[in-house]
Amino acid sequence: MAVLLPAQSTVLAVGNHHDREHSARLFSKSLSYIFITLFPLVLMISVFSFDALNLWVGEEFAENGYLVMQWLAVGVLFYGLSLVPFSLVQSAEHPDWSAKLHMLELPLYLGALWWALLEYGILGAAVVWTLRALIDALALYAMALFLIPECRASTVRLGFALLSAISLFFLAAMLEGLLYKILFALFFLTTFALLVWYRVFEQNERNWLLNSLGIGGNS
């Protein structure tokens, strides 16, 4: 994101149609790279949340904490993806928009957090934080589309990807037994890698990655 912000700022400074298209391409590629990197990681955290906590701090803590970990994993995905439209809004010379959004969210978030902590404890706090991350992301994407309508196609694709991701999070939450979790993880990671390689990456990206790994070739 530190690289994307000045890149978008340079592109949007001119403001003609060609630069808006280039901005939309930067937006799309940033979404793809963040989703590709972040989603497998947070899904694996969700899948193995109970087992990891059990190994680390014991079964009693794991029983009371693994749901919190799963909800926070989902929230981290929403938060990570919200950084792309946040960067675009900042680059388009409207930093006040996101600031006003956060000021509007603050009292609502604090009120919901106070109620959730009283009623449901730390799990309630995790759920409220995740929902805030989702609402924040949706509002920022709406701002980005208003500023650069050319980003619509990549946003629609992200929406379908997120629906699939949420379905997998629900599936992961229902898995029981370490063996089933390991099999699910192996199947998912293999399938996800193949989909990304053949359906998301362009040829130049595949070549760059192979060369970076020292493999070479034009697969």
- pLDDT 10s digits, 89-140: 888 888 889 899 999 999 999 999 999 999 999 999 999 999 999 999 999 9
Residues 6+ apart with CB under 8 A from 115: 124
Number of domains forming the structure of the chain: 2
- In the predicted model, what is the mean pLDDT of the chain? 88
Q: 45 and 85 share a domain?
A: yes
Q: 61 and 134 share a domain?
A: yes
User: Quick one: how far is CA 65 from the chain centroid?
Assistant: 22
pLDDT band per the 50, 70, 90 thresholds, residue 216 = low
Give 171-186 pLDDT, tens digit per residue: 888 888 899 999 999 9
Distances (CA, A) of 204 to 161, 166, 192: 23, 30, 20
Distances (CA, A) of 19 to 8, 11, 16, 90, 118: 9, 6, 5, 16, 50
pLDDT band per the 50, 70, 90 thresholds, residue 157 = confident
What's the mean pLDDT in 72-101? 90
Residue 210 has pLDDT above 50, yes or no: yes
Instruction: Find tokens 């919200």 and name the residue.
Output: 82
Q: 32 and 108 share a domain?
A: yes
Residues 6+ apart with CB under 8 A from 92: 8, 12, 147, 148
Q: 92 and 190 share a domain?
A: no
Is 166 domain-assigned? no
Q: 143 and 196 share a domain?
A: no
Q: 125 and 204 share a domain?
A: no
Residues 6+ apart with CB under 8 A from 137: 78, 79, 81, 82, 85
Q: Report the percent of the chain where pLDDT is more than 90.
A: 51
Neighbouring CB atoms inside 10 A of 205's CB total 15
Q: 70 and 118 share a domain?
A: yes
Q: 33 and 88 share a domain?
A: yes
Q: 114 and 187 share a domain?
A: no
What's the mean pLDDT in 187-207? 90
Q: What's the confidence (pLDDT) of residue 119?
A: 93
pLDDT band per the 50, 70, 90 thresholds, residue 217 = low
pLDDT band per the 50, 70, 90 thresholds, residue 66 = very high
Residue with the bigger pLDDT between 207 and 7: it is 207
Is 208 domain-assigned? yes
What's the mean pLDDT in 207-218? 77
Q: What are phi and psi for residue 136, nearest 5 degrees?
A: -60, -45
CB 218 within 8 A of CB 201: no
Q: 211 and 125 share a domain?
A: no
Q: What's the confidence (pLDDT) of residue 18?
A: 52
Q: What's the confidence (pLDDT) of residue 35?
A: 94
pLDDT band per the 50, 70, 90 thresholds, residue 219 = very low
The first and second tokens of residue 79, run together, are: 């938060």
Is 165 domain-assigned? no
Is 169 domain-assigned? no
Tell me the residue type at 121. Answer: G
Residue with the bigger pLDDT between 61 and 20: it is 61
Host domain of residue 142: 4-158
Q: 204 and 99 share a domain?
A: no
